[in-house]
Each structure stands twice: as structure tokens, then as C-alpha cells.
Amino acid sequence: MVGFKEEFTDRIIGANPHLVIQKSLFTDENKINNEIKDTLINKITKIQNIVHAYPVISGQVMGAFEGKYSGLQVVGIYKEDLKKIDLIANPEKKIGDIDNFNVGISVGKGVANSLGIGIDQNLRLISPDGLKTLFGTTPRIGDFPVKYVFKVGRYDIDRYRIYMPFFDAQMFFNKENQIDKINVLVKDPNKVNEIQENLANSLGNDYDIWTWKDYSGAFLNALDVERRVMFIILSLVILIAALNIISGLVMLVKNKRKDIGILRTMGLSQNSIVRVFIICGSLIGILGTISGLILGTTFSYFLPDLQIFIEETLNRELWNPELRFLTEVPVRLRLLDLFYICFISLALSVTVTIFPAINAARLDPVEALRHE
């Protein structure tokens, strides 16, 4: 569960802007003009801990290729700015060359697979928001060669996103003298709220500033709650398993009444009896914890390979990226998590042995040997 959250967060941070700045809805103009674009970007980059700021054009289109159609999200961007997006410039897999972006478009691997399009083939984009004529609005149509295909490992990005050269996007969406928003990248995305406040003070009320946490924060908080609940459930499972140690020790004490009585008559103290049964019960918990740790870490380490093997064997998809956004099962092994689990397991294993051990130590030697 930690792996899913961290992988999901890394995909958000690596393939999306950390902050988005756009004109406020309460201003006279809801678009940023080209005349103030450079001045605004210079003002933004002067804020501490901001790495890069760049203008974008965004829009929704229909993609068509050889009888196949799909709704797509277009982002108009300069090539230099596209290279600043880490997971786009350095994705999990890529086809083509990002340096050819100025003479074509860049699409996600899911887009290429769904439409069956490859490098240097023309993708037809259709925008319903086209030219307005006396007979109504005419859809705007354009053909763009695919020069770069990327796979970042997140379904919604790979399946629907297209990057288009900035000026081509302005012309295609009829926004020659304006941009939709300014995207911002920062040094530490986890401290983005502090930068948001600084930007709000610097830019005033004319601009709305959104962070990546505003877009995905509720989902990540839900994952945190779910992880805590799962840890409680795991602890309860361990506790139920530890109850078997109690039952085992109770039966052991009952079967060893004669031996306990003999040891007591030979002068063995009650504390020594307690230690014997605590060590006996704890040893079960220690061996079980070590075995579980080895099996669990081994299974987690080879889980991605096991997923591929099972999917190829059964010829079916076990991990649906449409529901979980990520294309494979994410696994992260953290020493802190392993320590917590082992600590809970060992603590419960030792704790549950105390009561049977004390009962064994309280056994009266006379009663134990009366019928022997």
C-alpha cells in the first residue's frame, strides 16, 4: 500500500505541473495575453524554490486514424519546456526522438495503441470549437505527424494525453494572442503550499493558483486512511495467530504438570518456571516472524515478475490500469514498515505467553504430584 501511494505520487509529480496559474474567473479576461506572458513568468521565477515556469495551451479534441477514434487531451507547449517534465523526457519506455517535437506531436503509448498509430504517421485531430460561420460552427481539423511516443506508467496520461508544439496549438485552437495557463515546477513538491502562498501574495487576486495536492489530495488522503486501517487489521490478524501460542502453552502446562512439580520440589523458583515457558512460547513467535519476514519480502520483491507470469499464463489482465491508474503492481519495501510489523509480531508473541507461564509457576508441587 505504501508502494501504491508513493508510485502514484511520483507519477503525479513527475508528469504534471506542481502548480497551475490561470486568470481568475472574477476578472474581466479569463485568458492571459501574450503581452504579459513573459513579464508574468519572470515575476513567478523570482519566487524562491521555483525551478521553472512555462505557458501552455490546453484543449479537448477527437483523434482519428484509419477508422479509429478517441477523445484526447491536448497540451500545447514549447519543446524546451517539455524536456523539463521529467517523466516525459525520461519515461519508462519511449519511441522516437523528443528533439523532433517541433515538427510533429508527442503522444502517450496508450493513445498509440488504441489508435494503432506509429512514428511518422499522421494523426488527425478534430476540434468542435472551430470557425464560426453563417451556417454555424465548423469543426477545426488538422493532421499532425507523430514524432515521439512515451510511456510514464500512469493510465490516464498514457491513454489520453498529447503534447503539441506551442504555436501549432495556438493556431489550432484559435488562441493566437493568448495562453490558457502557466505551469510551475518547484524544487520540493511536498512544500508546494508555502510557495502557493508566496505566489498569491506576489500576483494578487487576479490569478487562481492550484497545486497538485488540490487536484489529487483527497485521493492521497484516502490512501493514508486506508493504510492505517490495514495496519490495524494486520495487527488483529497477528493477535489472532498469537492466541494459538496461548492455547499451545496451556496444553503444554497441562501435560507437564508432573515435570513442573518435580522441578519445584528440586528447588527451581517460580521465576525460573515463568522464564522457561516465556522462552518456549516466544521462540514460536520469533521463528514465525523470521519466516514471515523472509517469505513476505521475497514475495513482494518478485511480485511484478509474478504478475507478468500469471497474466501471460492465464492470458488475462489481473491489474486493471483503468481502475488503479498505474500500469503495474507497485512495490516499495521500507525498513521502517518491516520494523513496525516485526515489532508488533514479537511484542504480541511475548505478551501472550505471560499469562500461561504465570499459571505454570503458580502450580502447587503437592497437587501436581498427588496422583503420581
- 348 touches 285 (CB < 8 A): yes
Give the mean pLDDT of 111-122: 91
- 274 touches 281 (CB < 8 A): no
What is the residue whose three cell numbers read 493568448?
178
Which pLDDT band, with edges at 50, 70 and 90, does 79 fall under?
very high
- Does the pLDDT value for residue 142 go beyond 70? yes
Q: What is the DSSP pairing of strand 19-23 with strand 207-211?
A: antiparallel
- 72 touches 111 (CB < 8 A): yes
Confidence (pLDDT) at 353: 85
The residue length of the chain stands at 372
Which pLDDT band, with edges at 50, 70 and 90, does 295 fall under?
very high
> Which run of H or E residues covers position 269?
none
Confidence (pLDDT) at 125: 93
List, in order, residues 6 or more apart from 271 with CB less than 8 Å away: 361
What sign for the dihedral angle of Cα 11, 31, 167, 124?
positive
DSSP state of 103: G
Confidence (pLDDT) at 81: 92
Give the separation between CA 118 and CA 121, rounded to whole angstroms.
Answer: 6
Domain boundaries, the chain: 31-187, 219-369
Residue 322 in grid coordinates: 483503468
Please report, as a single letter, which amino acid is at residue 97: D
- 220 touches 30 (CB < 8 A): no
Which pLDDT band, with edges at 50, 70 and 90, does 319 fall under?
low
Give the separation between CA 3 and CA 149, rounded to whole angstroms.
Answer: 26
- CA dihedral of residues 325, 331, 337, 341 (deg, nearest 10): 100
- 13 touches 216 (CB < 8 A): no
pLDDT tens per residue, range 158-181: 889 999 999 999 888 888 878 888
pLDDT tens per residue, range 197-238: 888 888 888 888 888 888 777 777 777 788 888 888 888 888
- CA dihedral of residues 87, 90, 91, 94 (deg, nearest 10): 140
